[in-house]
Structure 1
Amino acid sequence: MARMLGRLGGWCARHGLVVLALWVVAAVGLMGGSLVLGSPVSNDVSIPGTDAQRAHDLMRSGFGPGYAQGGTVQLVVHSPKGALLEESRQRAMERAADRIRTLPHVEQVDTPSRKGGLSPNLQVGLITVRMEGHDPAKLAETTQAVSKAADPARAAGLEVVAADSGSPADKEIKTGPSEIIGVLCALLVLVFAFGTLTAALVPIFTALVSVAAGLGLIGLLGHVLDVPKQAGIMATMIGLGVGIDYALFLLSRHRRLLADGVAVHESIRRTVASSGGAVVFAGGTVIVALSALMLGGFPLLSTLGWITGISVVMAVLTSVTLVPALLGLLGHRINALRVPFLGRRPESSGWGGLGAWVARRPWRVLIGSVVVLAAFAAPALAIKLGPLDEGYAAQDSPSRRAYELMAAGFGPGSNGPMIVVAALEEKVADTDAPVVRRLVREVEDVDGVAHVSAPKLNESGRAVLVQAVPDYAPSDTRSADVVHDVRALSVPGVKVHVGGEVAGLTDAADRMAERTPLVIGVVVLLSALLLLLAFRAPLVAVKAALMNLVSLGAAFGTLALVFSYGLGSRLVGMDPPLDGSYVREFFFTVPIESYVPLMLFAVLFGLSMDYEVFLLTAVRQSYLRHGDNTRAVAEGLGSTGRVITSAALIMVSVFVAFIAYPDPMVKTFGVGLAAAIAVDATIIRGFLVPATMVLLGRANWWCPRWLDRLLPNLSVEGHEEEDEPAPAPPARPLVRT
């Protein structure tokens, strides 16, 4: 593998202009294509095999697409100066309804009246628009058109906002200034790390090219696949972080070789052969971890995982091709535009001294690190999982305003009604049938159900649909209990299914809880296997996989402190929903979506493995030179500490910048990723990992002879690519090289 990468890096260095042109054309072409053709997104949260999905399918087949998800658009109308039933306001709403009826695919428009759609205080009402034959994937555009057609009501002094109808335009996660802030912070870190502006710009340029190509490809995939709305922002966040980091690792080694007098093209070949192999394996662990999300049983999550992995693939490809091309074009000019007083050689940093200090007192360092990490992880025991509703959206967003109007007019549960679809064993003539009346009565008697709408019978007389509004907001965990209680109803001759947003999120949470052990086990096992292939050392592979789990504890502990305890929810820009007295609190808790921990686990496990691979690569190279494990640990930490710290600072800067996004999901990922990377690159890689490696001694690199014969010699460390010959191995060889 090292020889293959070395040849690839050498070819790219000799044909730099060709490689650069190909990447620029690919990035511009893919991004331009997605801009011209559009980048469709889908918020399909269907989970095959769940009760909510069965309710949705029965609703679509029995009552038509107008009653299924994406078949209804609702406008919330608010009259701040009087009742909506006043004659002039009624006429204004009717004019709005007439304009809406002229829109394509509109089947029925219902305006607020005393028969329905009107709040008890008569100041909040619903205009319900049922669609027929339209594309559910274009519900965002449909919602905008319907809202625009309601301008006559606005002209009469009424407030009209679109309620959450699945994927309104204001819910789409759009790009913003966070990318620029993250890139500028990364550039500042790189200038301090390298001391030259030219060297600092190489990783930035490479990462931007990889992110542009990845986003363009993801945008085009939206025309043939259901791409989640979060895919673009996750790909940008992860792509920027790993793209800059991978280029940083390569560039750091190249500059060290140049300083030692190695020729430019030879330096590039050695760099790609050694550090390039580490980049490939590090990227592979990220992709493996993200791909394992397919075992979660949640299509939205699995799609989000492998699509995010596209940005990692692009980062790896640009690192082993575009970076050597740029280095070949720049030659010794890589050190041009030097910044005064910056750019010390890594050997002069204090990491080598820290490595020696840890090697002299491994037990004390191990115990101290465990205590500190346990303190970071302890709050995770109280982490609060649950669905996020529009009450936590940006305060000035239409969806947030619609949520608050609905809660004030109809109660908090009106923002997440349950759709009860009952399949009847025998055909009935109308809704006055005894079995239908009993069904409605049973649903009304469930604790936590505020009221139930009038039942609707389908044309075949074999299915009944009622809407049950709970007492609680969608984000309230008690809403899930109501869903389970309604599903548990036993009515003779009736099979009850419950759909709707709350029911779907409840099923998602149950599925995640069921599949989480499987996903964690597969990720840990496959990552350990990759490390075993890379370093041919079983203990190192298992230990590295377990160490990455430790950084996850710190991430979840931080999430619990900020969101579940509410100690920093205001600081990250969250705005609390209105309570009954309309008082906003400074400290308030925010539920964390049930799929977020599993997604965070996959992303963090892969990113943490990056630093593990680069540290182990340096330690193993030192060990193979002289066979002294303690000395190798100290030298490995000394040679990589500054680079890993710079890489971590870049990732933390990028992730913190994304906390500024108004979307709560993005804030959650930003906080969790930043906290985990900061702890991983300091406490774990700087203290815990070196201490355990010193204590394990030569056992780190032990490998049974039978396993050594089975494993392919991938040589990720690229040791044989060095000019200097390897010294004689220890008295009793532990690893065959």
Structure 2
Amino acid sequence: MTRLLGRLGGWCARHGGIVLALWVVVAAGLMGANLAFPSPTSNDASIPGTDAQRAHDLMKEGFGPGYDQGGSIQLLVYSPDGPLLEDKRKRAVEDAIASIRKVPHVDQVDTPFRRGGISSNLQIGVIGVRLEGQDPTKLAETTQTLSKAADPARAAGLEVVPADSSSPADKEIKTGPSEIIGVVCALLVLVFAFGTLVAAMVPIFAALVSVASGLGLIGLLGWVVDMPKQAGIMATMIGLGVGIDYALFLLSRHRRLLAQGVPVVESVRRTVASSGGAVVFAGGTVIIALSALLLAGFPLLATLGWVTGISVVAAVLTSITLVPALLGLLGHRVNALKVPGLRAAGSAGSGGGGWAGLGSWVARRPWRVLLASVVVLGALAAPALALKLGSLDEGYGTQGSDSRRAYELMATAFGPGSNGPLIVVAELPEKVKDAKDPLVKELKSAVGDVEGVAHVTDPKVNDSGRSVLLQAIPEYAPSDSRTVDVVHEVRKIALPGVDVHVGGKVAGLTDAGDRMAERTPLVIGVVVLLSALLLLFAFRAPVVAIKAAVMNLVSLGAAFGALALVFSVGLGSGLVGMDPPVSSSYLATVFFTVPIESYVPLMLFAVLFGLSMDYEVFLLTAVRQSYVRHGRNARAVAEGLGSTGRVITSAALIMVAVFVAFIAYPDALVKTFGVGLAVAIAVDATIIRGFLVPATMVLLGRANWWCPRWLDRLLPNLSVEGNEEDEEESATPAPRHREPAGV
């Protein structure tokens, strides 16, 4: 593979203008098409085969318009100065209702002046609107149109706020300042790493082209598959990080070869043959980890996985084609525009410096370093035991938003559970005439007797008379873990011949959590096994492959520990920009708990495992190359850490800067990923790669590179090392002497 990559890199370096033009055309064309034909997005959280999905399917059968998902909208009306029943206010509300009825696709409008439609203090009412024939993907536009139609009520001094059934994670996330902040921070790190502006701009330009191409393709795919609204932001976050990192590794290697006097085209060829191979394998581990989410049994999560994988594929392709083309076009001008006061000669990884000293220091005391690293990592991971999963509701939405205000008004008027009603649909053993049938009454009574149910609405029988629909209002908020218990208890209702199903947002997320718990061991096992196999193909060393997989799992512990501290324990949730529930306490605005969506840990695992493997591949490549030259394990570990330490640190700083910048997004899901990814990458590039991995490799000695002969014969020749350029330095085989006591 290294020879093939070397030829590709050399060709791109010689034909840089053509490669650059092609990439610019591809990126501009895909983004232009995406902007000209924006595709719809959908956060459909349905899971085939679950009870919530069965309830949703039954809701479509004969209950009339508005009962299926996206078919109903609520408008909250609040009178701050007195009861809504006062004549002037009541007329204003009725005028608003008349105006709403004229909006296209409105089938029925329920007045707030009905039983259950107005609060006990008579100041808050709910206008219920049921739709027929409207496009479910345009729910936001329809909601705004209905809200505008209620202006007659606002003219009378009433507050009218639209509410919808989506969660904060459903809101459309638009790109903005976080990307700019991330790119600027990355540029600063690159300037300090390389000492020249031209060199610093190469990874930035390559990453931007990569992200633009990936986002354009993802946007167009939204026309043929249901595309989650978080897809673009997740692809941008990961694409920027890996795109800059991969280009950084290549550029560092190229500048070191240039400093040694290697001609430009030959330097690019060698760079792509060696570091390019590491990029391909590193990207492959990320893609494998993300692809394993297809086994989670959750379509939304699976789509987020492969969509994010597209951004990684784009990053790998630009790294092994566009970056070599840019390096060939620039030649020695890659070192132009030196920054005064910063080292501009050589590369960001040359010489080793302090990292080589650290490697030697670790090699002399591996046991002490190993024990200290385990203690520190254990302390970082310990809070993960407090990790609390749940569902986000609008109580954690952005302060001042319509959805947050509607949530608070509903909770004040009708209790917290009114923001997440349970849709109960029962299949009956025989046909009934109407809701007065004794069996229907018995069903309503049984649902109302469930502990945690505050109120049950009047039942509705479908056209066939074989299904009954009613709503159960829990006593608790949708994000409260006790609401999940209510879902399970309602499903346990046993009446002769009656099958009870529970749907709605809370029930759907409950099923998602159950499915995640069931499939998580499978996904983790597949990711670890396939990633270890890929490393085995790359380095032909079973011990190294197994150890790398274990080390990546260790960094995950630190990430989940940080998430638990910030969100589950609440130590700083306000500091990352989360808006707390209404409280008069100042401390409560900074320290409050936030539930983490049930599918987030599995998605975070896949992303982090792949990204952590990136640094493992680059470190192991350098260690292996040194070991092949002289056969001394401890010395090879020190040299490998010395040659890659500064580059890996720079890459990690870029990743952390990008992920921290995305914490500023108003979306709780993006904040969760930003915190988890930033902490995990920081820990991985320092404690794990700087101390734990070198210590274990020194202790394992020659066992690191041991491979049974039968296995060596079976493994394909996919070396990632690219040692052809080092043949002059290593004309004789590596010595077989015993490892000396020191370095």
TM-score range, shorter chain: over 0.9
Aligned to 1:665: 669
Give per-residue Cα distances to partners, 1:658-687, cap 9 Å, x unaligned.
Answer: 000111111110000000000000000000
Number of aligned positions between the proteins? 734
Aligned to 2:516: 512
Matched letter for residue 549 of structure 1: L
Task: Pick from 561, 568, 580 the counterpart of residue 565 of structure 2.
Answer: 561
- 374-383 or 78-87, larger mean C-alpha shift: 78-87
Q: Equivalent residue of 2:597, what SS? A: coil
Aligned to 1:341: 341
Distance 1:733 1:431, change over 3 A: farther
Aligned to 1:288: 288
Q: Quick check: 1:139–1:168 contact (8 Å CA) kept in 2?
A: no
Aligned to 2:187: 187
Q: Quick check: 2:533–2:545 contact (8 Å CA) kept in 1?
A: yes
Task: Pick from 589, 599, 606 the counterpart of residue 603 of structure 2.
Answer: 599
Q: Quick check: 2:460–2:468 contact (8 Å CA) kept in 1?
A: yes
Residue 402 (structure 1) shift: 1.1
Residue 263 (structure 1) shift: 0.2
Q: Quick check: 1:170–1:398 contact (8 Å CA) kept in 2?
A: no
Q: Equivalent residue of 1:524, what SS? A: helix
Aligned to 2:684: 680
Aligned to 2:25: 25
Residue 141 (structure 1) shift: 1.9
Give per-residue Cα distances to partners, 1:114-155, cap 9 Å, x unaligned.
Answer: 323211121111111111122212222222222222222222
Equivalent-residue separation in structure 1 for 2:623 and 2:571 (angstroms): 40
Task: Pick from 498, 504, 522 the counterpart of residue 500 of structure 1.
Answer: 504
Give % identity.
79
**Unaligned residue ranges in structure 2 (runs of 5+):** none
Aligned to 1:82: 82
Aligned to 1:476: 480
Equivalent-residue separation in structure 2 for 1:148 and 1:171 (angstroms): 20
Aligned to 1:173: 173
Aligned to 1:381: 385
Equivalent-residue separation in structure 2 for 1:47 and 1:17 (angstroms): 48
Equivalent-residue separation in structure 1 for 2:708 and 2:367 (angstroms): 27
Equivalent-residue separation in structure 1 for 2:394 and 2:731 (angstroms): 62
Q: Equivalent residue of 1:61, what SS? A: coil
Distance 1:167 1:148, change over 3 A: farther
After the TM superposition, which residues 658-737 of structure 1 pair with which residues of structure 2 at under 5 Å, given as runs?
A: 658-724=662-728, 725-731=730-736
After the TM superposition, which residues 24-63 of structure 1 pair with which residues of structure 2 at under 5 Å, given as runs?
A: 24-63=24-63
Q: Quick check: 2:293–2:305 contact (8 Å CA) kept in 1?
A: yes
Aligned to 1:616: 620
Distance 1:109 1:421, change over 3 A: same
Give per-residue Cα distances to partners, 1:403-446, cap 9 Å, x unaligned.
Answer: 11111111100110000001111111111110011111111111
User: Is residue 2:526 matched to residue 1:522?
Assistant: yes
Residue 592 (structure 1) shift: 0.7
Q: Quick check: 1:435–1:493 contact (8 Å CA) kept in 2?
A: no
Give per-residue Cα distances to partners, 1:636-658, cap 9 Å, x unaligned.
Answer: 00000000000000000000000
Aligned to 1:68: 68
Q: Quick check: 1:77–1:124 contact (8 Å CA) kept in 2?
A: yes
Residue 291 (structure 1) shift: 0.5
Q: Equivalent residue of 2:62, what SS? A: helix
Q: Equivalent residue of 1:63, what SS? A: coil
User: Is residue 2:534 matched to residue 1:537?
Assistant: no
Give per-residue Cα distances to partners, 1:315-345, cap 9 Å, x unaligned.
Answer: 0000001000100110000000001221365
Distance 1:579 1:412, change over 3 A: farther
Residue 582 (structure 1) shift: 12
Give per-residue Cα distances to partners, 1:181-238, cap 9 Å, x unaligned.
Answer: 0100000000000000000011011111111111111111111110011111100100
- 101-110 or 360-369, larger mean C-alpha shift: 101-110
Matched letter for residue 734 of structure 2: P
Q: Quick check: 2:366–2:696 contact (8 Å CA) kept in 1?
A: yes
User: Is residue 2:321 matched to residue 1:321?
Assistant: yes
Matched letter for residue 460 of structure 1: S
The CA RMSD over aligned residues, in Å, is 1.7
Give per-residue Cα distances to partners, 1:559-591, cap 9 Å, x unaligned.
Answer: 111111111111101121126999954321111
Equivalent-residue separation in structure 1 for 2:168 and 2:583 (angstroms): 25
Equivalent-residue separation in structure 1 for 2:586 and 2:117 (angstroms): 23
Distance 1:426 1:242, change over 3 A: same
Matched letter for residue 618 of structure 1: A
Q: Quick check: 1:624–1:726 contact (8 Å CA) kept in 2?
A: no
Distance 1:428 1:181, change over 3 A: same
Aligned to 2:209: 209
Residue 727 (structure 1) shift: 2.5
Distance 1:726 1:89, change over 3 A: farther
Residue 169 (structure 1) shift: 11
Aligned to 1:426: 430
Matched letter for residue 138 of structure 2: K
Distance 1:398 1:582, change over 3 A: farther
Aligned to 1:356: 360
Equivalent-residue separation in structure 2 for 1:688 and 1:361 (angstroms): 12
Q: Quick check: 1:3–1:721 contact (8 Å CA) kept in 2?
A: no
Aligned to 2:399: 395
Q: Quick check: 1:140–1:169 contact (8 Å CA) kept in 2?
A: no
- 621-630 or 63-72, larger mean C-alpha shift: 63-72
User: Is residue 2:598 matched to residue 1:587?
Assistant: no
User: Is residue 2:409 matched to residue 1:369?
Assistant: no
Equivalent-residue separation in structure 1 for 2:114 and 2:146 (angstroms): 23
- 106-115 or 316-325, larger mean C-alpha shift: 106-115
Aligned to 1:231: 231
Equivalent-residue separation in structure 2 for 1:490 and 1:717 (angstroms): 64
Aligned to 1:331: 331
Residue 256 (structure 1) shift: 0.2
Q: Quick check: 2:422–2:507 contact (8 Å CA) kept in 1?
A: yes
User: Is residue 2:136 matched to residue 1:131?
Assistant: no
Q: Equivalent residue of 1:469, what SS? A: strand
Aligned to 1:112: 112
Give per-residue Cα distances to partners, 1:686-717, cap 9 Å, x unaligned.
Answer: 00000000011111001111110111111211
- 33-42 or 681-690, larger mean C-alpha shift: 33-42
Give TM-score scaled by structure 1 length. 0.97
Equivalent-residue separation in structure 2 for 1:549 and 1:731 (angstroms): 33
Aligned to 1:641: 645
Matched letter for residue 611 of structure 2: L
Residue 349 (structure 1) shift: 2.5
Q: Quick check: 1:270–1:722 contact (8 Å CA) kept in 2?
A: no
Matched letter for residue 680 of structure 1: D
